[in-house]
């Protein structure tokens, strides 16, 4: 029971995802989203909605808009030929390595923060 469903206006998405319309238009400018137009006005489909969601998630993880564009474009069209498929598989493998690294970084940081937390709470009981 999401408050909204497709189609969305730009301010709908702006509210839902807590980004400014400027941001959404900028992503379009960079080729990340391509909403339809009704009388010059942007109209966003469920697919656009999902794309924006993926973009913002990717950003939180630390990917650039350029990277997100290529990966979104990549995952969009299923590869036809075997060579294409191998190519995509290679890219995916790289992305996974990056992500695994980030996950390790995060886990290491979380552990350190727990240690610090423990040190502080322990020192408080002194």
Q: Which residues form the interface with a copy of itself (CB under 8 A)? A: 57-58, 60-62, 75, 78-79, 82, 85, 88-89, 92, 95-96, 99-103, 105-110, 113, 116-117, 119-121, 123-124
Give whichever of 17 and 123 is closer to DNA, judged by the CB atom.
Answer: 17
Q: What are the tokens at 56?
A: 């913002």
Name 38's bridge partners: 41
DSSP state for residue 37 in the 8-state scheme? E
Do 10 and 51 meet the contact criterion of CB atoms below 8 Å apart? no
Contact letters for DNA, residues 55-94 (x by CB under 7 A): ----x----xxx----------------------------
Identify each DSSP E strand in the chain by its residue range: 36-38, 41-43
Out of a copy of itself, DNA, none, what residue 40 binds, judged by CB under 5 to 8 A for its kind, is DNA
Q: What are the tokens at 65?
A: 């808009």
Residue whose tokens read 């690294």: 101
For the bound state, the minimum distance from the C-beta of residue 50 to DNA, rounded and expressed in Å, comes to: 17
Residue whose tokens read 């990340």: 32
Residues that bind DNA (CB under 7 A): 9-12, 14, 19-23, 25-26, 30, 39-42, 59, 64-66
């Amino acid at each position: 029971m999401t408050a909204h469903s497709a189609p969305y206006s730009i301010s709908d998405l702006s509210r839902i995802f807590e980004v400014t319309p400027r941001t959404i238009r900028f992503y379009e400018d960079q080729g990340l989203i391509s909403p339809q137009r009704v009388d010059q006005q942007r109209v966003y489909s469920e697919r656009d909605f999902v794309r924006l969601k993926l973009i913002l998630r990717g950003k939180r993880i630390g990917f650039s808009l350029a990277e997100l564009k290529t990966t979104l474009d990549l995952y969009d069209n299923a590869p036809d030929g075997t060579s294409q498929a191998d190519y995509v598989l290679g890219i995916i493998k790289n992305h996974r390595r990056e992500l695994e690294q980030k996950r390790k970084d995060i886990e290491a940081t979380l552990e350190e923060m727990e240690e610090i937390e423990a040190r502080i709470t322990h020192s408080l009981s002194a």
